[in-house]
């Protein structure tokens, strides 16, 4: 009998939003392919945790999603895929005149190039199946920009445009492409801010707090299971901030 279990690939899965996504998708019955950059032990522990808790198949790989050759090697080990969650990313906080070209290129590789590399290899697998979902994790700064985060804002703005354009390209093939643009979420990436700085930020958020990784993962899962007519959208979740 044909296996009807769906498979999701989640990048940047060892912590934060990616880790919660792994739990959410496993709880929904998806088999998982999880990647992270270098936290092999965390990924292995998560893999066992998910298999034990949800009885799903789970594979973990170290992979720099911003490196084309590493992504190509990753996909050489994947023969079926229903959902791609492009979650891996990095930030850079600082004045543009202090930013090196290497820092700029690193942000673009991790946040934007990675979406291209993974989609390039995921789309043929989805075409074979006749359906698929691609969800790109973006940011409100991709919508409105942020001082001191020019490269990050530019990369996420490009992710938003990439999402809308690719959705139009793939809609005739029954592959939906959407993005989730988050406000400030309680992740390790935002632990660079002091408690006082977080307090000032949350004062400006109507919801009065940061979002949780569980809330972010819930939205991403909803996008993976949304009606097929929902495509090309950048859904903002920021507590009413922007």
CB distance 214 to 20 below 8 Å? yes
Q: Active site includes 152?
A: yes
Q: How far apart are alpha carbons 168 and 71 in whole angstroms?
A: 24
Of the residues 30, 68, 152, 229, which is catalytic? 152
CB distance 42 to 118 below 8 Å? no
Buried b (16+ CB within 10 A) or exposed e, 225-242: ebeeeebbbbbbbbbebe
* Angle, alpha carbons 209-214-218 (nearest 5°): 115
End-to-end CA distance of the chain: 49
CB distance 54 to 24 below 8 Å? no
Task: Give the residue ranges of DSSP H helices in 7-130.
Answer: 16-27, 40-54, 68-75, 101-108, 114-129
Q: Are strands 58-62 and 83-86 parallel, antiparallel or unpaired?
A: unpaired
Q: Classify residue 16 by burial, with Cβ atoms within 10 Å: 0-12, 13-18, 19+.
A: buried
DSSP state, residue 210: P
Q: Are strands 83-86 and 234-237 parallel, antiparallel or unpaired?
A: unpaired
Query: Residues with catalytic annotation?
Result: 152
């Amino acid at each position: 009998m044909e296996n009807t279990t769906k498979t999701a690939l989640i990048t940047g899965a060892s912590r934060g939003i990616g880790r919660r996504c792994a739990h959410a998708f496993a709880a929904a019955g998806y088999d998982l392919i999880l990647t992270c950059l270098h936290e092999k032990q965390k990924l292995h522990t998560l893999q066992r945790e998910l298999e034990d808790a949800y009885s799903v198949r789970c594979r973990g790989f170290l992979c720099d999603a911003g490196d084309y050759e590493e992504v190509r090697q990753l996909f050489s080990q994947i023969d079926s895929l229903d959902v791609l969650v492009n979650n891996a990313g990095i930030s850079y906080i600082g004045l543009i005149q202090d930013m090196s070209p290497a820092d700029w290129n690193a942000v673009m590789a991790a946040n934007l190039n990675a979406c291209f590399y993974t989609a390039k290899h995921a789309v043929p697998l989805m075409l074979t199946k006749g359906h698929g979902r691609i969800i790109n994790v973006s940011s409100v700064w991709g919508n409105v920009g942020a001082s001191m985060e020019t490269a990050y804002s530019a990369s996420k703005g490009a992710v938003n445009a990439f999402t809308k354009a690719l959705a139009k390209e793939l809609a005739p093939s029954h592959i939906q492409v959407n993005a989730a643009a988050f406000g400030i979420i309680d992740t390790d990436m935002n632990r660079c801010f002091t408690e006082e700085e977080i307090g000032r930020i949350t004062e400006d958020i109507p919801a009065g707090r940061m979002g949780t990784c569980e809330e972010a993962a819930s939205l991403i899962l909803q996008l993976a299971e949304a009606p097929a007519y929902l495509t090309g959208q950048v859904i903002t979740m920021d507590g009413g901030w922007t």
